[in-house]
Every structure is written in structure tokens, then in C-alpha cells.
Amino acid sequence: MKVIELLNFNRELLKKLQEAGIRLEDARYIDLYMDYVRLLNQGDKVSYVVAVLSEKYSVSERKVYALVKHFQSDCKTVAV
């Protein structure tokens, strides 16, 4: 399958996701966020969780904080 075929097939979904403020790159970090929630629920401190996830996923601590903030934000209401 060609790239354009896949894009065309999923055009409406991609458009809705973009309008909601979701970036394609976000899918790459779903597991990171799920680990974040799990570790917090286990009682670990935020700074410890961020340091562990930064190392595990090879991203900066600043990136982890930004991803958590982004994933916890509401979708833009235009798309919903």
C-alpha cells in the first residue's frame, strides 16, 4: 500500500484528530503515559517517575513533563 492510499483512506480520522489538537507523534508516547499513571498510582513521587521514564524512553525530563501536560489536557471542542 502506498502512503497516499493510507492517508486518503484515513483522511477523516486524521482531520478530526488534528482538529482536536492531537499530533501523530503522540501515539509514540502512549506507553510512556500509561507507565506514568501506573507508577503514580503505586505511590511513587512525580520527580522520580519522570526521571525513570526519561531514562526508559530516551527522552528528556522536560519532554516527559510536556507529554504528561499534553495528554492530560482537554481536546479542542471544535472537533468533538
Give the DSSP letter of residue 78: T
pLDDT classification of 59: cutoffs 50, 70, 90: very high
* Residue 79 confidence (pLDDT): 46
* Residue 16 confidence (pLDDT): 93
Q: What is the tens place of the pLDDT at every residue in 7-39?
A: 999 999 999 999 999 999 999 999 999 999 999
**Residues above pLDDT 70, as percent of the chain:** 96
* Residue 76 confidence (pLDDT): 82
Domain boundaries, the chain: 3-72
Nine-digit cell string for 59 = 527522552
* Residue 78 confidence (pLDDT): 61
